[in-house]
Structure 1
Amino acid sequence: MTTPQEELLPGTRRALLHRIAVAQAEGRAPSLVAAVVRDGRAVWHGARTSVDGHGPDENVQYRIGSITKTFTAVLVLRLRDEGALDLGDPVERHLPGTGVGEATVADLLAHTGGLAAESPAPWWERTPGSLRPELADVLGEQPLLHPVGRRFHYSNPGYTVLGALVEKLRGAPWEEVLRREVLEPLGLDRTSGRPKAPHAGGWAVHPWADVMLPEPSEDLGRMAPAGQLWSTTGDLARFATFLAQGDDRVLSAESVREMRVPAAPGEAADVADGVSYGLGLQIQQRHGRLLVGHSGSLPGFLANLSISVEDDVAAVVLTNCTSGPLVSSVGADLVRIVAESEPRIPAPWRPLPEVDASVLELAGPWYWGTHAYALRLTADGGVSLEPLAGSGRRSRFRANADGTWTGREGYYAGELLKAVRRPDGTVSHLDLGSFVFTRQPYDEGASVPGGVDPDGWRGIG
């Protein structure tokens, strides 16, 4: 259930309504429904329709196509977090005989496995899944079109294989596992593999005349993990909050953050537009902000989920036509309207409740050679290290139980930072993946690799 729309200013609400009204009219969509999420709650819902005589609300189902892939990716990450698999495992280790070579679980999540974009004919989106009862029917005689791990090539069969992997390791059908492990814990009771009333019908709109043709609604069978689901703006608003914040009942904040990190570049044309792909999530730069989420399409339906984690704003856009509105652009615009009209108000600064004196003494300037850096304590109990001037390598680090820290992002992601102490307990230097940071440039009192010239610093004279 959405929160009162009064939480957004009247001007913002009108701008949002105007944007979807233009999209529905110019895109000639039978209906278009949208929602905006802020502070972890749906704060706006809008709908435009020219058929059925009423506007759909946040509980009307639409088919969401490839947004299904993000749900499948969550199931795979759950298996990884439980230790049932490693993302570096070749798929053949768990599903022998698939013919996908050395493609890893991570390759399939990021569409770098080299698999074909589609299954063999007939067109899988408009024909019964019963025509493809086995994985071999989905993958065909030549599953691989590109060398494994060499390039991004979007693959629907790749996610079918991931769904089969989930079924193999869980010993239950993909949809049953999804309902038990994701939909029920997150309260997504209007998301399902088959439509449940009330739901929209899918339409094809004639490109040169204002007439429509109903599209078939097929059960995709084996291809279900790539695009089967139906959902609502209400459910996808809650799913967006999960993808931004995590939920320990499903996936931790750290694991959903991992999903949002680029794992593969886009195609050449996309790279220029700032588009890449994570682990089950599309990543793009729009209007100067980073958006993560996914789009989806099946005959009769278009869908988009766009999230700006930094702005704490997300948008859901669903429509029931095969082509028409550019829903990814609409979603990005809805995020922009709220983020710019009502920018996020930061939480008030508060001092830390307590601090470890041995960590506090590390705060302040450090030098990598002659490059000046600052180490700061962060509110989450970790530290950050960043250059004092200009560009350079920077990262936040999470604290480990042994007094060290592990990099969370950038060049130092996964690298170990530790304070090296002398026998008397005083700090000699910081070691970061073998790089030595000292309190003074090339501090002669620290263990600087290669040593420090005994004559010290000098001028030209």
Structure 2
Amino acid sequence: MDAHSEELELLPATRRALRHRIAVAQSEGRAPSVVAAVLRDGAVVWEGSRTSVEGHGPDGNVQYRIGSITKTFTAVLVMRLRDEGLLGLGDPLEKHLPGTGAGEVTVGQLLAHTGGLAAETPGEWWERTPGAQRTELGDVLGEEPFRFEPGQRHHYSNPGYTLLGSLVEAVRGKPWEEVLRTEVLEPLGLHRTTAQPQAPHAGGWAVHPWADLMMPEPAQDLGLMAAAGQLWSTTQDLARFARFLLRGDEQVLGAATVREMRTSAAPPEPGFADLGYGLGLQLAESRGRRLVGHSGSLPGFVAGLWMSEADDLAAVVLANCTSGLPAATVAMDLLNLVADAEPRIPEPWKPFPEEHPVELDLCGPWYWGTAPHLVRLTADGLLHLGPVGAPGRAARFRAELDGTWRGLAGYYAGETLRAVRRTDGSVSHLDLGSFVFTREPYDPEAPVPGGVDPQGWRGIGR
């Protein structure tokens, strides 16, 4: 076993802690079965299961229904259309899918659940009734599809993802399921992720809340609602999907686009303590870690898929019960168990490659007014700007061809940082969206907005 393989192997104590967590979850959650997996550094390092049936247990190849994790797959298809230039996130739905009655909502708002649409469909509970009852988008949206003005707030919407599925079909000219299979599932090797169950698969069960009795749940074909929750999958397939969501795959979406999906595009829904919602991905914080993923449920099944980019970890939990076992929470717990017990070993430090231009005159201390900031240039070619010894706006910048730097995230995302040079080539100051950073606090030699008092700094008696 090489050194990297040894690092991937979990310690016995960690493996026992993971096994104990899902055993408690299955017992206290009164689930007929639960199956789980943990991914570290792109490889599955642990799999486990518990079941109420003696003699065998599910493994990573057994299908469970994954409910709303399906939405993340649908979001991937939409982002592919965006990357191909076939649509924009700011496009109104009407531009590509006319006549829905909700055409003013944008593609990006639908992805982030900020379109103001209702959470559910009108009529009977769609998750437990045949999709044949909703053959038209009008059946899904109803006569009054909006609950809020588009863009006003985050409001989770299953019909919104039905619209996105229909959008994919309209642009591609093929059924959502076919597009998903050819453009995502096959390229990523997700051969056990399907719209209809394929053996071996678990049966969905309802467990009586006050008695240890069970009753089978119906497994409905959701029809038009498929893009919001139809899929069946396995822990092995979802672990591969998590690896893609963390790293990207040029056959499907590049690393920059999946990073965009993992970035908050909507504020938290009032009453919830999470970090909001990305583009087809939920955001959360657990034990101080920023996590990204999605939960899922349909009658008879619960699912959770969560990832930590900083720890390069992911965890998947699937169970076949309608309620009782919080799969998303258990998945977070598995991830945290590994991250706490076996912290990630950082990559070795490496110096700046010779082929990159080193602009040392940009590095070091700068002042925005009287607030000290530090600029560092790192080996990945990015410029880091952040306050010294105090909270504030920190940002990373990417070099542009014209000699400026473009903000990548946070307050300065998309903003331009420009080094303003004197006639002799030395740097006078940094200009960042009208903010002037100088080498000295309120440097009188720099064009500080509003000017600098000619008497300069003084004590209280002057």
Counterpart residue identity of residue 17, structure 2: A
Counterpart residue identity of residue 123, structure 1: W
Give secondary structure in 1 for the equivalent of 2:396: strand
* Residue in 1 that maps onto 2:441: 441
The CA deviation at 1:424 is: 3.0
The superposition leaves residues 28-55 of structure 1 with CA deviations (integer Å, 9 ceiling, x where unpaired) of 1111000001101110000111137421
Structure 2: gaps of 5 or more residues: none
Counterpart residue identity of residue 177, structure 1: V
* Residue in 2 that maps onto 1:286: 286
Counterpart residue identity of residue 278, structure 2: G
Q: Of 263, 266, 277, which aligns to 2:265?
A: 263
* Residue in 2 that maps onto 1:295: 295
Partners of 2:43 and 2:128 lie apart in 1 by 35
Query: Pairwise mapping of residues 313-332 of structure 1 onto structure 2 (< 5 A)?
Result: 313-332=313-332
Counterpart residue identity of residue 69, structure 1: K
The CA deviation at 1:358 is: 5.5
Partners of 1:164 and 1:333 lie apart in 2 by 36
The CA deviation at 1:57 is: 0.9
Q: Specify whether residues 402 and 90 from structure 1 end up closer, same or farther in structure 2 by C-alpha distance, changes over 3 A only.
A: same
The CA deviation at 1:403 is: 2.0
The CA deviation at 1:410 is: 1.4
Query: Pairwise mapping of residues 4-403 of structure 1 onto structure 2 (< 5 A)?
Result: 7-51=9-53, 53-270=55-272, 273-354=273-354, 356=356, 359-403=359-403
Counterpart residue identity of residue 274, structure 2: G
- Aligned-pair identity in percent equals 69
Q: Specify whether residues 293 and 215 from structure 1 end up closer, same or farther in structure 2 by C-alpha distance, changes over 3 A only.
A: same
RMSD: 1.7
The CA deviation at 1:5 is: 11
Query: Pairwise mapping of residues 425-440 of structure 1 onto structure 2 (< 5 A)?
Result: 425-440=425-440
Runs of 4+ in 1 over 4 A off after TM superposition: 3-6, 355-358
Give secondary structure in 2 for the equivalent of 1:268: coil
Counterpart residue identity of residue 444, structure 1: P
Give secondary structure in 2 for the equivalent of 1:361: helix
Partners of 2:447 and 2:154 lie apart in 1 by 44
Partners of 1:182 and 1:418 lie apart in 2 by 40
Partners of 2:267 and 2:442 lie apart in 1 by 39
Partners of 1:23 and 1:187 lie apart in 2 by 30
Q: Which sits farther off after the overlay, 229-238 or 244-253?
A: 244-253
Q: Which sits farther off after the overlay, 289-298 or 117-126?
A: 117-126
Counterpart residue identity of residue 147, structure 1: E
TM-score (ref. length: structure 2): 0.95
Counterpart residue identity of residue 363, structure 2: A
Partners of 1:355 and 1:386 lie apart in 2 by 26
Partners of 2:357 and 2:363 lie apart in 1 by 10
Counterpart residue identity of residue 145, structure 1: R
Q: How many residues align?
A: 457
The CA deviation at 1:227 is: 0.2
Partners of 1:161 and 1:92 lie apart in 2 by 11
Contact 2:368 2:437 in 1 (8 A): yes
Q: Which sits farther off after the overlay, 256-265 or 315-324?
A: 256-265
Contact 1:64 1:301 in 2 (8 A): yes
Partners of 1:31 and 1:327 lie apart in 2 by 12
Partners of 1:168 and 1:6 lie apart in 2 by 44
Counterpart residue identity of residue 408, structure 2: R
Q: Specify whether residues 440 and 81 from structure 1 end up closer, same or farther in structure 2 by C-alpha distance, changes over 3 A only.
A: same
Partners of 1:5 and 1:20 lie apart in 2 by 23
Contact 2:8 2:41 in 1 (8 A): no
Structure 1: gaps of 5 or more residues: none
The superposition leaves residues 72-99 of structure 1 with CA deviations (integer Å, 9 ceiling, x where unpaired) of 1111111112211111111122112111
